[in-house]
Amino acid sequence: MPFPFEPDGGIGRRPLLALMPSALAACLAVPGQANAAAPLTLYSGQHPQMVGLLTKLFTKETGIPVRVHSGEGPEIANQILAEGTRSPADVFFTENSPELVLLDEKGLLAPVDPATVAKIPRRFSAVDGHWVGVLARESALAYNPSLIEGSALPGSLLDLARSQWKGKVAIAPTDADFLPLVDAVAALKGEAAALAWLKGLRRNAALYDDDEGVVAAVNRGAVATGIINSYYWGRLGTEVGFAKMKSRIHYFRPGDVGGLINVSGAAVLKSSRHPADAQHFLAFLVSRPAQKMLARSDIDFEYPLARGVAANPALKPFSELDPPNISVAALGDDRLAARLLREAGLI
């Protein structure tokens, strides 16, 4: 392919120049061009694999194609802020609530169809109805029993900042799932306590890019414990086989901030040029078929929030969780968390 010309480069062949227009055309034509039906543009902070399952089913049911732009939740939220009212995004689907809270504060979200919001228990959606909770996951501690006794595990997330945990804990401070935990500590214990806790973690913890890295490190015995969403333990289990898992999940004591429930939610952008389709997509996300499909898949270890849909049996039943008492509104928008993380030298 790279050699559309003869070795002698003979006069009059003009091979390279003949190649160029077609090459440019190929380059401009291939990526991202849509078919006839107007595609919905989805900005997603969720895992590409599960979003792939969802959009495939949605397109099959409705005929509406979906273009997906994936990234970390905070990255995409800031991208939408920078794009402003001319953002190409129709729908924003996150792993955590603070990104949606941030965009709502900036007035960029449209009200969600009340029928969609009604499908989900009210405490998991925005008070003003501008975004809807879709799935939930809980924070926990992965540990490797060959490195640490179950009895030595901490009762509280905050214990991990103590000096006896030096070198025994892993965290992923730039993962979108870590920021809400910081938000929660700051909201429940105050900013100063949160900063002290983070500085303790800075001394104690091995740093990873994401929760996948943390749980993998714990599982192979590189570090004794790691703060993760239990979701990632399930994902690793699928990957290596649950029977071969060398790590376990430890839940902090009832009501501890470490048992925070993160809400994955979705919203329609006010600037969406396809608001009807976008609302349709949100309704689809909370519909029983979509929620059941995710709960039954071996790639998504999140609790479906729609009423009456059973969670993945690999997960501890939702009713048995005992999360801290904090609302999605009180959790805030991640900006405080990002500042505290920087002050503590973690990012």
Partner 1 sequence: MEQAAAPLTFAEAGRTASGRRRPRRLLLAAAAAGPLLVVLPLGEMLLEAARVDPAQLLRLLWRPLVGELLLNTIGLLVAATASAALIGTAAAWLVERTELPGRRFFAVAAAVPLAIPPFISSYAWLSLSPALEGFAGAWIVITSSYYPLVYLPVAASLRGIDPAIEETARSLGEGAAGAFFRAVLPQLRPALLGGILLVALNVLVEFGAFALLRFRTFTTELYAEYRTGFDRPAEAVLALVLLFFCLLCLIAEIRVRGRASYARIGAGVRRPITPLALGRARPAVFAGFVALIFATLGLPLGMILYWLTRHGAAAVSPAAVSASALLEATLSSVGLGLGGAALTVILALPLGLLAARYQGSLVTLFERAAFLGQGVPGIVVALALITITIRTVRPLYQTAATLVVAYAILFLPLALVSVRAAFMQAERRLEEVGHSLGLGWPGVAWRIALPLAAPGLGAAAALVFVSIVTELTATLLLAPIGTNTLAVQVWADTSTLAFAAAAPYAATMVVISLLATWLLARRFGATRLFQR
Site for partner 1 in 148-177 (CB under 8 A): 174, 176
User: Of 243 and 320, which CB lies nearer to partner 1 in the complex structure?
Assistant: 243
54 near partner 1, rule: CB under 8 A? no
Of 108-116, 180-188, 189-197, 213-221, the window that binds partner 1 (rule: CB under 8 A) is: 213-221
9 near partner 1, rule: CB under 8 A? yes
**Residue choice 62, 238, 274, 326 for contact with partner 1 (CB under 8 A):** 238
Partners of 266 in the beta sheet? 93, 132
Q: Which of residues 285-344 bind partner 1 (CB under 8 A)?
A: 297-299, 334, 338, 341-342
SS3 at position 91 = strand
**Residue choice 220, 246, 273, 288 for contact with partner 1 (CB under 8 A):** 220
48 near partner 1, rule: CB under 8 A? yes
**Other residues' Cβ atoms within 10 Å of the Cβ of residue 122:** 11
235 near partner 1, rule: CB under 8 A? yes
**Other residues' Cβ atoms within 10 Å of the Cβ of residue 170:** 25
Start-to-end C-alpha separation, the chain: 44
49 near partner 1, rule: CB under 8 A? yes
User: Of 223 and 266, which CB lies nearer to partner 1 in the complex structure?
Assistant: 223
The nearest distance, CB 235 to partner 1, in angstroms, is 7
The nearest distance, CB 31 to partner 1, in angstroms, is 4
Of 31-39, 249-257, 264-272, 285-293, the window that binds partner 1 (rule: CB under 8 A) is: 31-39
**Residue choice 61, 105, 128, 209 for contact with partner 1 (CB under 8 A):** 209
**Residue choice 142, 187, 236, 245 for contact with partner 1 (CB under 8 A):** 236
SS3 at position 255 = coil
Looking at 173-210, list the stretches that DSSP marks H as alpha helix, in order from N- to C-terminal side: 179-189, 191-204
Question: Residue count at the site for partner 1 (CB under 8 A)?
Answer: 78
28 near partner 1, rule: CB under 8 A? yes
Give buried/exposed letters for 231-251 (b at 16+ CB in 10 A, else e).
Answer: bbbbbbbeeeeeeebebbbbb
Return the sign of the alpha-carbon dihedral for residues 179, 300, 42, 289: negative
For residue 176, report the phi and psi dihedrals to the nearest 5 degrees. Answer: -60, -20
147 near partner 1, rule: CB under 8 A? no
14 near partner 1, rule: CB under 8 A? yes
Largest CA-CA distance found in the chain, in angstroms, rounded:
82
**Other residues' Cβ atoms within 10 Å of the Cβ of residue 164:** 10
Q: Do residues 265 and 134 lie in contact, with contact meaning Cβ atoms separated by under 8 Å? A: yes
Q: Which of residues 76-95 bind partner 1 (CB under 8 A)?
A: 77-79, 82-83, 86, 88
**Residue choice 63, 150, 241, 308 for contact with partner 1 (CB under 8 A):** 241
User: Of 67 and 129, which CB lies nearer to partner 1 in the complex structure?
Assistant: 67
Of 113-121, 145-153, 183-191, 237-245, the window that binds partner 1 (rule: CB under 8 A) is: 237-245
Q: Is 183 exposed, middle or buried (0-12, 13-18, 19+ CB in 10 A)?
A: buried
Of 105-113, 203-211, 248-256, 313-321, the window that binds partner 1 (rule: CB under 8 A) is: 203-211
Return the sign of the alpha-carbon dihedral for residues 127, 131, 135, 139: negative
Q: Do residues 50 and 300 lie in contact, with contact meaning Cβ atoms separated by under 8 Å? A: yes
Q: What CA dihedral angle connects 82, 329, 305 and 209, to 10 degrees?
A: 50
For residue 120, report the phi and psi dihedrals to the nearest 5 degrees. Answer: -120, 140
Q: Which of residues 94-113 bind partner 1 (CB under 8 A)?
A: none
User: Of 54 and 179, which CB lies nearer to partner 1 in the complex structure?
Assistant: 179
41 near partner 1, rule: CB under 8 A? yes
The nearest distance, CB 61 to partner 1, in angstroms, is 19
For residue 68, what is the enclosing H or E element? strand 66-70
Q: What is the rounded CA–CA span in Å between residue 284 and residue 282?
A: 5
